[in-house]
Amino acid sequence: MADTHSPQVKPELLKQVTSNLFDCPNDEALVHCISGDCCMGASIAVLFKQKFGDVSKLLKQRKVSGQCAVLLRESRFIYYLVTKQRAFHKPTYSSLLHSIKDMSINVITADCLSSLAVCSHSIVCGLDQLEWTKVAKILEQVFIGTGIIITIYSLPWTAASLN
């Protein structure tokens, strides 16, 4: 049986590192998934909520599933992929694809980013249980040819369990 969570990625577009997402270089935008109600009550979303706050600003953006909210913190973009409407819902590959496409418009328009930082478990592969190999293909599909490098962060114990 194939390992559906293995973070094997194409080195030219997606690169994998074993490190804490929040320790990434300041020139990398951070990306993670949330629900449209901006609950952020579990997993890495709690850390994003604690570290960056401004849930009211996210709610004012009125993003729905398939869209992307964004905050700017000290010259760093923080992208919130809305992959489901409510915290207790489950995302779909379609909602993920649409939210990544929405984010890509902002990334390309901003024209000041060369890389995105993503934790494999923060982009619907943790509690939401989508398959990493399919998520990686969506990222590749959307960002191929853009020059954007996506760094996939895994903590040591997570990386070991996924390989």
**Residues carrying an active site annotation:** 84, 128
Amino acid identity, position 65: S
Other Cβ atoms within 10 Å of 50 Cβ, number: 9
Tell me the sheet residues that pair with 14. Answer: 150
Q: Are 111 and 82 in contact (CB under 8 A)?
A: no
- Token pair for residue 51? 């570290």
Beta strands per DSSP E along the chain: 14-18, 29-35, 67-73, 76-84, 115-119, 149-154
Tell me the sheet residues that pair with 119. Answer: 153
Nearest-angstrom CA–CA distance, 34 and 125: 12
